[in-house]
Amino acid sequence: MATETSAQVLPYDEMARRHRIETLLTRAIIYALLLIGAAIILIPFLWMVSTSLKVERQLFEWPPRWIPDPVAFENYWKAWEQLGSIAPGLTFWRIISNTLFITVLAMFAEMFSAAVVAYGFARFRFKGRDVLFFIMLSTMMIPGVLTRVPSFLIWREVGLLNTYDPLTLPAWTAWGPAYVFLLRQFFLTIPREMDEAAIIDGANPVQVFFYVMLPLVKPAFLAIGVLAFQGNWNNFEGPLIYLNTTQLFPLILSIQFFQQSLSKEAPKWHYMMAMATMMAAPILLLFFMAQRYFIEGLNVGAVKG
C-alpha cells in the first residue's frame, strides 16, 4: 500500500518508468477498491428504492428485477391506506404531523437549552464548574437501561403517559451532553473582548447572548440543530414506551406497528420499503442540504476532544 508517492531522484530512465507504472497500478487498485466499496454501499440502497416501486407480483420475481415495470408509485400512499385500515384515524398526514410535532419541539428545546448551558459553562467562572462539567460528560456513559423503567413510572405517576410530554418537555433541560460540549468548545474560541465590549455598550447578559454570542457560534448551533432533528426523528425507544394510542404514533412507531400486523400473512415488502424510503427521505434531504453540519457535528468529539 503506497502511502506517499514522494518524488525521488532517479538516475535511470528505466527506474523512472517502472516507478511510473507502479504508481499507475497503485492508483488503479485504489480506485478499484473504492468502486467495490461504492457498489456495496449503493446496491442495498437501490434495492430499497426499487422494491418500493414494485407491484406485489414482481416482488419475488426470479431473477430479481431492478427496474419495476409498471412503476408502482401508488405504493407510497397505498401503504398508509392499509395501515389506516387497521389503525383508524392514523392517516399519512396525521403521522407526519405527529412526527414533526415531536421532532420540532424537542429539537428547538434541545438546541436552545444546550446553548444556554454551554454558555454558562464556557464564559463564567464559578465554584464547582469543572466538577459539574465533568459530571455532565460522564452522563454520556449512563446506559438507557438504567432509567427506562423508572422514567416510565414517573411519567405515569404525573399522569402524562400517552402524551407527547415525555418526548418533548425534558429536552429543555439540555439532555444531550454532546451538544453542550460541542457548543462550549465554540464559545471558548470567542475572544472575551467581544462580550465585554457589548456590556460596556450597555447590553444586558440576555442581549449579549442573543445578539453577540449566538450569531458567533452559528455553525455549531446549526450543527446541533441538524443532529437533534435527526436524533428525534429516529427516536424509537421513547415513543415505544410512552405512547399506546395508535393515532398518536410518529412515523417510526407506525411503521413498526404496521410490520407487526403483517408478520402472520405474506410480508408486504413493497409497502415496507416504501415506508422505509419515506422515513429516510427527509433525513437524506437534510444531509445533502447541510452536509457540512453533519460532518462538523460528527467530528467534534473526535478531533477536539
Partner 1 sequence: MGDPGAFNSYYPTFLRYIGTAIVLALLIYLTYQGLRKLGVKREAATGFALITPWLVGRILLTAFPILLSFYLGFTEYNILWDEPRSLKDPLFNYKRALSFKIVEFDKDERVSIAKLGQLQAEGPDIVRYRELDSVVIGDTRYVIAATDIYLWRAIWLTLRYAVLSIPLGMAGALGVALLLNQNVKGVGYWRTLYYLPAVLPAAAVALLWFWLFAPNRGLINWALGPIYDLTNSEPLGWFTDKNLVLPSFVIMSMWGIFGANTVILLAGLKNIPPDLYEAASIDGAGNWVKFRHVTIPMLSPTLFYVLIMGVIGALQLFTEQAFIPTEREDGWFVNWFLYNEAFNFGRMGYASAVGWLYAVFIIAITLLVFRSSAAWVFYEGAREKEAGGA
State the minimum distance, in angstroms, from the CB of residue 77 to partner 1. Answer: 18
State the minimum distance, in angstroms, from the CB of residue 187 to partner 1. Answer: 11
Q: Which is nearer to partner 1, 40 or 215 (CB)?
A: 40
DSSP 56: G
State the minimum distance, in angstroms, from the CB of residue 34 to partner 1. Answer: 6
State the minimum distance, in angstroms, from the CB of residue 72 to partner 1. Answer: 16
Cell numbers for 240? 415505544
**CA–CA gap between residue 26 and residue 139 (Å, rounded):** 46
State the minimum distance, in angstroms, from the CB of residue 210 to partner 1. Answer: 13
Cell numbers for 78? 397505498
**CA–CA gap between residue 169 and residue 174 (Å, rounded):** 10
Q: Which is nearer to partner 1, 51 or 185 (CB)?
A: 51
DSSP secondary structure string for all residues of 112-130: HHHHHHHHHHHH---TTHH
Q: Which is nearer to partner 1, 78 or 279 (CB)?
A: 279
Residue 110, number of CB atoms within 10 A of its CB: 27
Reported in sequence order, the residue ranges of 80-176 that DSSP labels E, i.e. its strands, are none
State the minimum distance, in angstroms, from the CB of residue 267 to partner 1. Answer: 8
Q: Which is nearer to partner 1, 67 or 303 (CB)?
A: 303
Q: Which is nearer to partner 1, 78 or 290 (CB)?
A: 290
**CA–CA gap between residue 15 and residue 24 (Å, rounded):** 14
**CA–CA gap between residue 279 and residue 96 (Å, rounded):** 10
Task: Judge contact between 86 and 215, C-beta under 8 A.
Answer: no
State the minimum distance, in angstroms, from the CB of residue 247 to partner 1. Answer: 4
DSSP secondary structure string for all residues of 39-54: HHHHHHHHHHHHHHT-
Q: Which is nearer to partner 1, 11 or 146 (CB)?
A: 146
Q: Where are the alpha helices (DSSP H) in 128-249?
A: 129-138, 148-157, 165-168, 177-188, 192-200, 205-207, 214-216, 218-234, 237-242
State the minimum distance, in angstroms, from the CB of residue 191 to partner 1. Answer: 17
Q: Which is nearer to partner 1, 182 or 248 (CB)?
A: 248
Q: Which is nearer to partner 1, 75 or 230 (CB)?
A: 230
Residue 295, number of CB atoms within 10 A of its CB: 12
Residue 196, number of CB atoms within 10 A of its CB: 11
